[in-house]
Structure 1
């Protein structure tokens, strides 16, 4: 019983100390950092910018804090001048200000929703297993030649069958893909699921060194070469967890937006 009483007392003291610290922090945040023509710039505004800078990897220093304070003072000075000239009353400027206000509110709402609706680990693990199944256990080193028509693709195919023909040379001469043409059609290492379905299906049918028949996708006609394969080392769940969580949160937010729209009266 004595141990329990001590525990309760300790908890109360810690709660009181935490409350006092929070109150001190709030008082410090409410304290004006500067006055510009009688307008107060709260310390909280500067602290917010300092926090954002730290999150971007900028080291905290007196010089950095001074630069941020000066920047915010400059913004206040310019804003007051703009307001004095009536710019805030111009329709276009007023719309921009309203959009900025809505953007901040919407961002806060989404962040609050993500905080109060965390993604459960079992959901993330299901997503991880589905991802593993989708990407498989093999990577493919690919090259391709992209042309506009089936006739062009067949001509490329025939040219590749000629003795001494080099895929890279023909890709540089004929491919319409600006991202790979200059590299001889090289796409590098990838998993089939990275590509559109007809392309992926064609890749899975190829043996090392083999060239596909012409394949049509929404981008045009492809002639694909499988250069090599290797075992794919899938990152562990813990390594993938932050990305999986971000993806599932984005899906949840998208659903939230759809739900809000469905309940809204939009005319």
Structure 2
């Protein structure tokens, strides 16, 4: 049975958090002689409340990053969207929804998400994964996978006696595919126990050791025990393993190493934190 490495993936949802306006700056603007004129950095004013230009800048950058072309059309659409949001925000506040504890907690979570995303991006900028590290990981993976891959079938059962019973039926001439219907592995039982092509390293150790000792067309004469139960394994074919080139594998390896670096850093921060 195949096993996968568990990698902590930190998924941070991007939200547009309205930047807080300092009360002192607001007072200074109100007292200034030119306060009646549109203030620099204000996109629009809705019912007397200014929309900071910075919000539009953020939205435009995000849209451009997603493939939109910057220009009057995009900027006009962003302006209208922010005005629409402000109108709706004011309507919600008029109904007292800005005092709703559940909604405010949700808003706080969105704010946290933005800050976390920015922090993790800054962490990776200051702790980049080097080319040497990625290459070393690629070579390590190549060594671990070996140069062969195997096409196998298996039947997984809970007890050794049941596995021995299945082996006896196979020796008596019954078909592996038919007996696989009693397998405890839901992922392969409907395919006659077929596991497809895989390198030995993709299986748990007792399974891979037994598999690589088999001759093509043969099945294990004794049950193979693993943490999943007892296996009866049949080897159908062997071929040379074709691995992707370094350039092809590099993005995935770099991403996994970044995830590991982030996971380690988060765990370090968690260990240092005073929690009661």
TM-score by length of 1: 0.76
| Correspondence for 2:32 | none
Query: What is the CA deviation profile of residues 139-172 of structure 1, one whole-angstrom value per residue up to 9, with x for unaligned ones?
Result: 1111111222222222221111122x2211221x
Q: 1:119 Cα deviation (Å)?
A: 1.3
Q: 1:110 Cα deviation (Å)?
A: 0.6
Are 2:178 and 1:148 equivalent residues in the alignment?
Answer: no
| Correspondence for 2:251 | 242
Equivalent of residue 216 in structure 2, options 208, 213, 218: 208
Q: Counterparts of 2:94 and 2:219 in 1: how far apart (Å)?
A: 70
Equivalent of residue 57 in structure 2, options 29, 44, 51: 44
**What's the secondary structure of 1:210's corresponding residue?**
coil
Alignment of 1:103-122 (within 5 A): 103-122=113-132
| Correspondence for 1:9 | none
Shift in CA distance, 31/227, structure 1 to aligned 2, threshold 3 Å? farther
| Correspondence for 2:268 | 259
Structure 1 unaligned residues grouped into runs of 5+: 1-29
Shift in CA distance, 225/73, structure 1 to aligned 2, threshold 3 Å? farther
| Correspondence for 2:198 | 190
Q: Indicate the larger mover: 82-91 or 150-159.
A: 82-91
Query: What is the CA deviation profile of residues 215-238 of structure 1, one whole-angstrom value per residue up to 9, with x for unaligned ones?
Result: 222222221111111101122222
Equivalent of residue 123 in structure 1, options 108, 113, 133: 133
Q: Counterparts of 2:102 and 2:169 in 1: how far apart (Å)?
A: 59
Shift in CA distance, 48/84, structure 1 to aligned 2, threshold 3 Å? farther
Q: 1:137 Cα deviation (Å)?
A: 0.5
Are 2:178 and 1:174 equivalent residues in the alignment?
Answer: no
Q: 1:138 Cα deviation (Å)?
A: 0.6
Q: Counterparts of 1:161 and 1:67 in 2: how far apart (Å)?
A: 73
Mapped contact 2:200–2:212 kept (Cα < 8 A): yes
**What's the secondary structure of 1:211's corresponding residue?**
coil
Mapped contact 1:46–1:69 kept (Cα < 8 A): no
What's the Cα RMSD here?
Answer: 2.7
Q: Which has the higher helix share?
A: 1
Which one scores higher on RCO, CA 8 angstroms, separation ≥ 6?
A: 2
| Correspondence for 2:21 | none
Q: Counterparts of 1:235 and 1:188 in 2: how far apart (Å)?
A: 18
Q: Counterparts of 2:185 and 2:161 in 1: how far apart (Å)?
A: 17
**What's the secondary structure of 1:201's corresponding residue?**
helix
Query: What is the CA deviation profile of residues 162-218 of structure 1, one whole-angstrom value per residue up to 9, with x for unaligned ones?
Result: 22x2211221x3112221111111111111111222222222222211212322222
Are 2:66 and 1:53 equivalent residues in the alignment?
Answer: yes
Q: 1:69 Cα deviation (Å)?
A: 6.3
TM-score by length of 2: 0.74
Structure 2 unaligned residues grouped into runs of 5+: 1-40
